[in-house]
Amino acid sequence: MAFFYIILTSLIILNLVYAVPLQKDDNVSNNPIRYSGDEIYPYEKEHIETLAEYTAECTVLLKKNGDFPLTKKDTKKIYLYGNAVRKTLKGGTGSGDVNLREFVNIETAFTNAGFEILTKDFIDAYDEVYEKANKEFQEELNNNGGGFLNMGAIMSEPEYDLPYAKEGNVAIYVLGRVSGEGTDRKPIKGDLFLTDTERKMINDLAKGFKKFMLVLNTGGPIDLTGLDDVKNILILSQLGVNTSNTLVDVITGAKYPSGKLATTWTKYEDYQTIGDFAEKDDTNYKEGIYVGYRYFDTVNTDVMYPFGFGLGYTDFEFNIVSAELRGEKFEVKTNVKNIGKYKGKEVMELYLSKPNTSLDEPYQILVGFAKTKELKPNKKQTLTIKFKLSDFASYDTKTAAYILDKGDYVVRVGNSSRNTKPCGVIKVESRIDVRKVENKLGDPGFEDYVPKINSKKEDLSNVKTFTLNAKKVKKEIIDYDYSYPIAKEVKALTLEEKAKLVIGYYVDDFIGSLIGAAVTTVSGAAAETNTLDGKLKPVVMADGPAGVRIAKSYFLDSDGKAHNLEGNLPESMMSLLPPEMLQLVDASMPKPSANDTIYHQYASAIPIGTALAQSWNEEFAEICGDIVGTEMEMFRVNLWLAPALNIHRSILCGRNFEYYSEDPFISGIMASAITNGVQEHKNAFVSLKHFAANNQETNRYLNSSNVSERAMREIYLKAFEMAIKEADPKAIMTSFNLLNGVHTSESKELTNDILRHEFGFDGLVMTDWVIAMEGEYKYPNPSASNVIKATGDIFMPGSQADYENVLEAIKNKTLSMKELEMSATRIYELSKEIEN
């Protein structure tokens, strides 16, 4: 263990002080805007104010009894309880964390709003409980190896016995749960379940106070059983920089909740256990396409809070105005009326029930949605929602085709998956093969689960029926035979230069590259490409997806090298280090002289992906992308390693907060919108991640997600396909995991055949930050040459060993010069594009 600390300490110091030679880049226009001084900069103020206009739309009201919002008659004295009052969470941990200037907690936000907080003694006492528990937790981690070995480790909420008021006027309990990269959640008290302390306090407060609200400052579902007496529950989620002020606005009525769930919240025992989760070597997705509400609605589980559900302070009613089928495009119009006493917004959701003819089908799938503008009491709005039937064709593995099966397709509209009205029936008279492809993804080793249908028959006699004209459906046959262009300038490069292009720019020590020490341009960025001694401009990459993760503060040395004053590691990682190591790190950090100017790069923390999806507001997602793109352009970041759009397959996935939903359609919509917002800016691009089936953190580097061809195509690839076709992202990042025994990054079938040929993607494919794992594992590590052979373009973060692997593969003819030049061309062309 002592040896590990020595190695780890040296690596962290390397990250802070490593003398990386500056890559030559003579383009003066590439210099970022440099901010110094302590004042809040105009862009920060503008971005915070813009986000504040929308963040309440991400909050979801699960229960209400009319006590909220507070009125002017209510006291300004308030009881605040819960672990997240002072330790408020703006987002999850890991690479997606954002280094903003300042984060105001909920306690401070209420104080700033003029409230007198009557529970400061309790909050102080809780801090002592927390610090004691956290110290014991850190000691346990250190005894188990410490540092990187526990990346993402989360302390469960402790039990305690502190006195608290059991009656009064207004009380709010803010319950927080953090999760993060590297570790999955656990179905235990203090994580997925409430502690005994939390449950008792919440129920006591709900019974004793005249007005009580339970607020959930979480990145995903928790089990809310045993809280029947709680009449007001709000999912605040984790909203970035404006998390705390948004809660104050919602409680006081300055803003109102209008979000809907993008993932089902129910008892843990309700979630399917058909497939595996968090297995070391092989995780079997035996549930097939029955993920989330597709499972619950099909087997008719009585869930607590269904997909698409969310209340407002006001109430709405809706009625169907018209439904039409034009060609293969279905359109429904609904009138939505505010029948309550508060202003608000409502979401209308469109679902499609397919026939169970030759393929088993879930009860319904989301195919469209629309959100109203703000409606005052008694005001109404007509919403129009459209979808194209062939966009939701099912995949038939036997014939390797996307099909519209023979039968009746029932279209439903409503304000949650469990509150809909049939608005049309589309009759397909015979099977239509929409797109003919080839099965590409291998055998998972099992047959997918097929549920027993448990839904009631409904009377559709009064629902208008339309017959689809099969000739209106465009049919497609995929041709996989295509050779990619090679730039003549790339052909003229030496072999060594070509090899350097397809490997991330690295320092001699691999871990230094892993944690950003190889970056010579933007302080705190994740990585950059090789300039080939000034022939090219580096493509600078920064982490996401809750904003641009770069250094808050830095100074320039006499050679122009930027030194990060905080280090490149996220705060969540630094918090796992023992005190003696932190002291050594601090002593080893570069210190600016009295004459050095301190520059700042304060980024804006946007809502986590799950919260963004809960807004059901494409416009807001694009605005978030615009904020990110603006800051990328200012600080000269070219490639944002986001958005992340893996599916909430299990509520225990530690990284779900970065992802949008259990549903691929809304995931694709949100990813498309945020991509469009970013890429409106010059030389600012996104890298969609993680492609694909990255749905657990347990052994994430060498675990095989075993998934059927149908489930991959309908669930886990669908959102990527939508975003590629709707928003044209510049890059795609492959996932760490294997798929049916093959690394996703090394799968030519996934990268070349499906991504490039079927989806039409013509951009850059990069790996995630690959670590060569040592020990007893079933599957081998990926290699740079195998990735390039699969039409991947750049192996990250890069090392001397990876570079030599490519050269050796060329020498041994396991990688052709043509394959290398095709990948090098895509890197070369992106680098040339950002020069202009």
CATH number at residue 714: 3.20.20.300
User: How high is the pLDDT of residue 34?
Assistant: 76
Alpha carbon distance 643, 635 (integer Å):
19
Between 590 and 390, name the one with better pLDDT.
390
Is 214 a domain residue?
A: yes
Q: Is the pLDDT of residue 17 over 50?
A: no
Is 53 a domain residue?
A: yes
Span 563-585, average pLDDT: 67
Q: Is the pLDDT of residue 364 over 60?
A: yes
Helix (H) or strand (E) holding 384, with range, is strand 380-388
Same domain assignment for residues 110 and 229: yes
| 616 alpha-carbon distance from chain centroid | 15
- At residue 294, what are phi and psi to the nearest 5 degrees? -60, -35
Same domain assignment for residues 73 and 169: yes
pLDDT band at 33 (very low <50, low <70, confident <90, very high): confident
Provide the strand spans (E) within 150-230: 168-177, 209-218
Same domain assignment for residues 236 and 331: no
Q: Is the pLDDT of residue 476 over 60?
A: yes
Is 17 a domain residue?
A: no
**288, 441 contact by CB (below 8 A):** no
Same domain assignment for residues 679 and 661: yes
Is 266 a domain residue?
A: no
Alpha carbon distance 353, 458 (integer Å):
12
**640, 628 contact by CB (below 8 A):** yes
Q: Is the pLDDT of residue 20 over 60?
A: no
Opening angle at CA 556, ends 555 and 557, nearest 5? 120
User: How high is the pLDDT of residue 454?
Assistant: 65
Alpha carbon distance 29, 331 (integer Å):
49
Is 742 a domain residue?
A: yes
Q: How many CB atoms lie within 10 A of CB 487?
A: 16
Q: Is 99 helix (H, G, I), strand (E, B) or coil?
A: coil
Share of the chain above pLDDT 70, in %: 91
Helix (H) or strand (E) holding 112, with range, is helix 106-112
pLDDT band at 15 (very low <50, low <70, confident <90, very high): very low
Q: Is the pLDDT of residue 4 over 60?
A: no
Q: Is the pLDDT of residue 11 over 60?
A: no
User: How high is the pLDDT of residue 275?
Assistant: 96
Span 387-406, average pLDDT: 98
- At residue 586, what are phi and psi to the nearest 5 degrees? -60, -40
User: How high is the pLDDT of residue 575?
Assistant: 64
Across 139-143, 206-210, 576-580, 774-778, the highest mean pLDDT is recorded for 206-210
pLDDT band at 571 (very low <50, low <70, confident <90, very high): low
**505, 364 contact by CB (below 8 A):** no
Is 4 a domain residue?
A: no
**501, 827 contact by CB (below 8 A):** yes
| Span of 171-175, 407-411, 492-496, 771-775 with lowest mean pLDDT | 771-775
Q: Are strands 329-338 and 316-326 parallel, antiparallel or unpaired?
A: antiparallel
Last residue of a domain, one of 570, 600, 630: 600
Alpha carbon distance 175, 674 (integer Å):
29
Is 10 a domain residue?
A: no
Q: Is the pLDDT of residue 513 over 70?
A: no
pLDDT band at 573 (very low <50, low <70, confident <90, very high): low
Alpha carbon distance 35, 810 (integer Å):
46
Token pair in block for residue 337: 């009326």
Alpha carbon distance 158, 281 (integer Å):
32
Last residue of a domain, one of 425, 448, 477: 477
Alpha carbon distance 68, 172 (integer Å):
11
Q: Order of strands, edge to edge, in the sheet holding 35-36?
A: 35-36, 599-600, 553-556, 562-564
Same domain assignment for residues 690 and 788: yes
| Span of 540-544, 660-664, 709-713 with lowest mean pLDDT | 540-544
Same domain assignment for residues 588 and 715: no
Last residue of a domain, one of 579, 600, 621: 600
Same domain assignment for residues 490 and 507: yes
Same domain assignment for residues 702 and 817: yes
CA dist 763 → 417, 477, 581, 686, 732 (Å): 36, 22, 42, 11, 8
Q: How many domains does the chain have?
A: 4
What's the chain's average pLDDT?
92
pLDDT band at 330 (very low <50, low <70, confident <90, very high): very high
Burial of residue 36 (number of CB atoms within 10 Å: 0-12, 13-18, 19+): exposed
Q: Is the pLDDT of residue 712 over 90?
A: yes
User: How high is the pLDDT of residue 273?
Assistant: 95
Alpha carbon distance 642, 544 (integer Å):
5
- At residue 687, what are phi and psi to the nearest 5 degrees? -130, 100
Same domain assignment for residues 127 and 199: yes
User: How high is the pLDDT of residue 144?
Assistant: 73
**719, 691 contact by CB (below 8 A):** no
Alpha carbon distance 88, 686 (integer Å):
29
Q: Is the pLDDT of residue 813 over 70?
A: yes
Same domain assignment for residues 380 and 518: no
Q: Is the pLDDT of residue 60 over 80?
A: yes
Same domain assignment for residues 206 and 305: no
Alpha carbon distance 614, 623 (integer Å):
15
User: How high is the pLDDT of residue 6?
Assistant: 36
Identify the CA nearest to 458 among candidates 512, 412, 501, 405: 412
What does 710-758 look like in DSSP terms, one character per residue? HHIIIIITHHHHHHHHHH--SEEEE-SSEETTEEGGG-HIIIIIIIIII
Give me the domain span that covers residue 818. 481-549+606-835
Alpha carbon distance 35, 553 (integer Å):
10
User: How high is the pLDDT of residue 536?
Assistant: 95
Q: Which residues, including other chains, have CB under 8 Å from residue 192's CB and lie 6 or more apart?
A: 185, 186, 221, 222, 223, 268, 651, 652
| Model confidence, pTM | 0.95
Alpha carbon distance 344, 467 (integer Å):
38
Identify the CA nearest to 394 among candidates 481, 288, 466: 288
Span 160-182, average pLDDT: 96
User: How high is the pLDDT of residue 26?
Assistant: 46
CA dist 680 → 291, 621, 623 (Å): 34, 13, 11
pLDDT band at 5 (very low <50, low <70, confident <90, very high): very low
Q: Is the pLDDT of residue 351 over 60?
A: yes
User: How high is the pLDDT of residue 569?
Assistant: 60
Q: Is 285 helix (H, G, I), strand (E, B) or coil?
A: coil
Same domain assignment for residues 555 and 545: no
Q: Are strands 209-218 and 168-177 parallel, antiparallel or unpaired?
A: parallel
Alpha carbon distance 695, 2 (integer Å):
34
Task: Give pLDDT tens digits for 83-140.
Answer: 999 999 999 998 778 988 999 999 999 999 999 999 999 999 999 999 999 989 888 8
Is 221 a domain residue?
A: yes
Task: Give pLDDT tens digits for 84-100.
Answer: 999 999 999 987 789 88
